Amino acid sequence: MELCFNQALKEWSVAVSALTQGDTILLLRKGGIREHQRTFQVEQDRVWLYPTYEHQKPHLLKAPYAEQVEPVSSGWHPETVAIAAWAEITHIFQVTEEPTVTALLPFHIWNEQFVTERLKWKPSQPLYVLLLRVHQLANPRHISYRAEYGGCRSWIDLHEPISIQDTTPVLSETTYHQQVEAIQQILESPLLNTPA
């Protein structure tokens, strides 16, 4: 097994914290403006979780998570970024029907308004549901911000690889697979996946 890698997935800091604390295993993505080929694609199945701050919107989060967000000005970024965890992307689903995404509300940190807005943005493209098995570093690795980490894109390569040796799973294998199973039942339900 590879012990070091530098690929990272950019995500709201509040979402990275929720994943690292075991509050959720689920991300909803349509990608950034600067995505390769202008569509969201999962480029790696093992990634460091890179927290971002600029585009976090409290009004699109459930109350406990909205309270954690401090709005920042456009273009702001920290001088150093704390990398606290990596994730194995174990499952990828594409969803187009709003009832299906709404049924997933108990499993993630966003609210109904977020779900509606995500589906309406680039409506011809599906919403991607990613399930992540997260592993936490014993001590977060603080890295310097670099210009190439900026921009509206999902995937970046960190300047230096980080070792996964001193990490532990956030959730037990049993707990993780129980959550995966519950989410899969929703995503595979014919009643929720029939176009209106």
Task: Give the Cα separation of 157 and 8 in Å (integer).
Answer: 6
- pLDDT by residue for the chain (196 residues), tens only, comes to 558 999 999 999 999 999 999 999 999 988 554 545 556 778 789 999 999 998 899 999 999 999 999 888 887 889 999 999 999 999 999 998 889 999 999 999 999 998 888 888 877 788 899 999 999 999 999 999 999 998 878 899 999 999 999 899 999 999 999 999 999 999 987 666 555 4
Stated pTM of the model: 0.90
Asked if residues 126 and 15 have their Cβ atoms less than 8 Å apart, the reply is: no
**Helix or strand holding residue 180 (H, E):** helix 173-187
- What are the respective helix, strand and coil percentages of the chain, to the nearest 5? 30, 35, 40
Residues 120, 133: Cα–Cα separation, whole Å: 28
Q: What is the pLDDT of residue 196?
A: 47
